[in-house]
Structure 1
């Protein structure tokens, strides 16, 4: 079965990009499933909160998440909504919301060039499972506006344009390096109006 990874920072539009691509592929007679890493985490939490779990329990949960995703990917070609990292601060502040405090296991990395700290949640060994990787490299001003207009815990008034630019640059640079390391094709999509169509084009080669 085919397995595609779609990365992008929060509010870059991964969910609707994948949904649109799945619909277009289905219409063309090719069955793909939309699989979400975070969605699988929430399904397996069964009402528990990540912030109330120990590090060991979180690691055990992630083992189950990867096993569940592997099982689904054996039965259906999948396009997976993946996450690489999250900033340690937004606008120079550590903010406390239900969204930012529900943390996956991470390793902290300080980027001297960007002068920013990131919490990397992606296990690079998982990358080898994908045929190709796509990154949503959306205009930072568009992404910032989405942060400002999102509702509930995903609304963020603290994140600045510089934060968004650096986050995109950090993810994109590191994912490109990892893909080069493992010999996996790496693509970027830039136009938010055509990401679904562009993703289908890349998948179909």
Structure 2
């Protein structure tokens, strides 16, 4: 019914936010919701198809898996009320940024959110992380430039598709409530499928009696 992607730089807390959104929706609503974990799913696909980690693959194979990932997202959309995905637009590559966002990403999601966690917090999380997620050298300025670059580029993409890039802050409770409000408002007021169903239910008896219906 709705595919919602939450973007943000590494260690911004996307997984944590989505897990809490799902817990809230399961506790307070009857909605069916699923989190498709970006990096984890890509790594699983890489092992299944190429017996390698996603990170170690050549770019052509990564492209194949990213396309496969968006196919999975579309398939789950028919099974769940809400599909949540944590996404990466880019990674720091020396003094520039390596974009991993694809044309498939651009077209598959209904809504784009960006988790704009304070740069100082992200640096702290990066230094406290373990294994390959740990980064002792990243600076606040690097993170700030990284976030500004991603927000600017994603905003351009959203505008080209007549969509809005919604910015979330690090306040998990308010972000959860806002995401739920967004879903409810869109579903009840702006979703064509919902509007069509409501129209049918309202005029069901008349529609069933009619031999011809003209929609204007």
* TM-score, with structure 1 as normaliser: 0.80
Q: Is the 8 A contact 2:43 2:54 kept in 1?
A: no
Which one of the candidate residues 64, 75, 79 is aligned to 2:84?
79
User: Which of the pair has the greater relative contact order for Cα pairs under 8 Å at 6+ separation?
Assistant: 1
Q: Is the 8 A contact 1:131 1:185 kept in 2?
A: no
Per the alignment, residue 102 of structure 1 pairs with: none
Give 1:52 deviation, angstroms. 4.1
Give 1:159 deviation, angstroms. 0.5
Q: Which runs of 5+ in 2 are unaligned?
A: 186-216
1:17-28 equivalences under 5 Å are 17-27=17-27, 28=29
Q: Is the 8 A contact 2:90 2:98 kept in 1?
A: yes
Per the alignment, residue 130 of structure 2 pairs with: 151
In structure 1, C-alpha distance between the alignment counterparts of 2:4 and 2:69, rounded to whole Å = 17
Give 1:51 deviation, angstroms. 4.7
Three-state SS of the structure 2 residue aligned to 1:39 is helix
Q: Give a deviation string over 1:32-73, Cα, whole Å, max 9, x none.
A: 111122222112122412354333322222232222222222
The size of the alignment, in residue pairs, is: 179
Which one of the candidate residues 108, 116, 141 is aligned to 1:129?
108
In structure 2, C-alpha distance between the alignment counterparts of 1:130 and 1:75, rounded to whole Å = 15
Q: Which runs of 5+ in 1 are unaligned?
A: 90-115
Bigger helix share: 2
Give 1:24 deviation, angstroms. 1.4
In structure 1, C-alpha distance between the alignment counterparts of 2:85 and 2:24, rounded to whole Å = 16
Q: Give a deviation string over 1:161-190, Cα, whole Å, max 9, x none.
A: 110100111111111111111011221111
| TM-align CA RMSD | 1.7
Give 1:87 deviation, angstroms. 0.6
In structure 2, C-alpha distance between the alignment counterparts of 1:193 and 1:53, rounded to whole Å = 35
Change (3 A) 1:168 1:136: same
